[in-house]
A and B are shown apart, each in its own frame.
Chain A
Amino acid sequence: MKTIVLAFAAAGLAATAALAQQTVRMGTEGAYPPYNFINDSGEIDGFERALGDELCERAGLTCEWVTNDWDSIIPNLVSGNYDTIMAGMSITDEREDVIDFTQNYIPPVPSAYAALSEDVDVASGVVAAQTNTIQAGHVAESGATLVEFATPDETVAAIRNGEADAVLADKDFLQPIVEESGGELMFVGDDVLLGNGIGMGLRESDDELQQTFDAILTEMKEDGSLNELIREWFGEDAPTY
């Protein structure tokens, strides 16, 4: 025990001695393709990775990506384990109370219901959604029975094994799953528009970083490079700026 403590104390001192260079730690979930996911080489990949790297490059910052469970993604941001959240997180009033957001980098996108058959009633049936998402909030208010899951993947698995009648999630996430299911899954009901778009979450005290990223997002919206990225990851028909 003693040697371990000593070794870590020594490592801590050595790290302190090295001049602290500004590194921004980017937190994400890594389980929500195409927004963010772990690719087959074991690295974080996806639209948000590409956008985040571009933002950091333009701001001249060194960025490091880390994954965190969705459930504890906000607590770990405010306790300082990383500095930003880019995890397909919609800007909502409830979240604004706890953290700050940059302007959105994806305009409000429709959420959709997917199910195994056409005649599922999404207003009264059992609907699956990921815990602590705007979709879960919407299902709870819609009168349907809500079943929550920790990861997006499990919400889809739940309709396949009959635990839920339908799943409500971002349409961009469900689209490839429905298309590749070979007719097993289909969209039902109308799309719903939720939230104020997806933005980057930051600590309320981190005003400087927020302004930096905000300014670059404005720049990227103006020069069209953000639209280009959105089309690359979400297809030609995706809503752009």
Chain B
Amino acid sequence: MFDFCTDPATLSDPAWFACYLTSGKHLAFYGSFGTVLILLAVTAPVALAFGFAGAMAARSGFAPLRWLGVAYTSIVRGVPDIVFFLFFVIALDQMFEWTRHQVLCPDWDQPVRQGNEFLVCPEAKLPLGSAPQWVHEGYGFFLAILTFAIVFGAFAANVLFGAMRAVPKTQTETAEAYGMTPRQTFWRILVPQMWVYALPGLSNLWMILVKATPLLFLLGVEDIVYWARELGGSKTSTFTYPHPDWRLWYFLGLLIFYLTLTKVSEVLLGRLTRRLSQGQATIGGETLRGKGVA
């Protein structure tokens, strides 16, 4: 990074640290904070969409759709996360590859499963064997988001399902009395009012999601916990910057990062709750009105 970093062994402490903390490996570590934040920013809305779809399906009047919604939430909620991340992702990946194999290589005469091996034709590989490394990483990241969204979507579906049922019956009855169709009642009356009931459950999910990101390494995505362990481990003189076991310091850094992230989330969620409570016939809403804020 700096010009004076050519021979770190001869440097004084401050210069040594300046070089050490800007090494290529450390830049990758700093970059992984971005990876985690992007993952959270993308996963949260996607999971919410999954949850919303699941909740809508679960309260649908059309029986097969209802069964689908209920099956999704109960199966995914019942399976441990780690099983999901180890097994489901591999199955998902193999399903994609198998489908592509059927379409792209109809003439392939060898079986896809040979003993414990899963072999598709080279054209069906996902990503292709010849693809650059960033495509492989992008694909892993995509699988990570999809898996997180499916898992957290199931929990969110249950929260939203409950929230939809918590909206006072009188509200929907009034809507009907005004001549609204069931669709209008759902979108104009039920959905805007359910959020305040869903928020405590959803904020729990968000907090759990924030802390679940180390599971990423199981999917080959190098996240902050992976890099902290890699950088903190003791290094012999094979490395440019030898040092003893410094994992404690790196993990302290992660502690600060996670606490900051959860604190910021708490503040923002608190504001959101306040805002959603306004004008609601709930204790929270009445309190706001009493203060003359609403």
Contact = CB atoms under 8 A, between A and B. Distances in A.
B135 A204 contact: no
A16 B123 contact: yes
Contacts of A205: 114, 117, 119
Interface in B211-258: 217-218, 220, 229-230, 233-234, 236-242, 245, 247
Interface string B95-120: 00100100010000000001111111
Contact of B131 (A15, A30, A33, A160): A15
Contact of A20 (B28, B130, B138, B220): B130
Interface-central residue, B93, B126, B230, B241, by most chain A CB under 10 Å: B230
B239 A177 contact: no
B17 interface: no
Interface stretch (A37-45, A109-117, A127-135): A37-45
B130 A42 contact: no
Nearest to B122: A20
Contacts of B23: 40-42
A180 interface: yes
Contact of B128 (A8, A20, A46, A79): A20
B270 to A, nearest CB: 28
Contacts of A68: 220
Given A31-B230, A40-B25, A41-B25, A23 B116 contact: no
B25 A38 contact: yes
A43 B28 CA distance: 10
Given A40-B24, A176-B236, A12 B127 contact: yes
B119 A15 contact: no
A20 B123 contact: yes
Contacts of B132: 64
A48 B139 CA distance: 27
Interface residues of B, number: 56
Contacts of B238: 33-34, 37, 46, 176
B49 interface: yes
Contact of A1 (B93, B131, B133, B149): B149
A99 B117 CA distance: 10
Contacts of A222: none
B94 interface: yes
Contacts of A79: 90, 93-94, 117-118
A157 interface: yes
Contacts of B139: 8
A232 interface: no
A21 B132 CA distance: 11
A80 B120 contact: yes
A39 B129 CA distance: 25
B142 interface: yes
Nearest to B143: A8
Interface string B4-24: 000000000000000000011
A68 B218 CA distance: 9
B239 A98 contact: no
Given A4-B145, A180-B242, A16 B24 contact: no
Interface-central residue, B119, B129, B131, B237, by most chain A CB under 10 Å: B129
B94 A40 contact: no
A40 to B, nearest CB: 4
Interface of B: 23-25, 27-28, 42, 46, 49-50, 90, 93-94, 97, 100, 104, 114-120, 122-123, 125-133, 135-136, 138-139, 142, 145, 149, 217-218, 220, 229-230, 233-234, 236-242, 245, 247
Interface of A: 1, 4, 8, 11-12, 15-16, 18, 20-25, 30-31, 33-34, 37-43, 46, 62, 64, 66, 68-69, 78-81, 83, 98, 151, 153-154, 156-157, 160, 176-177, 180, 203-205
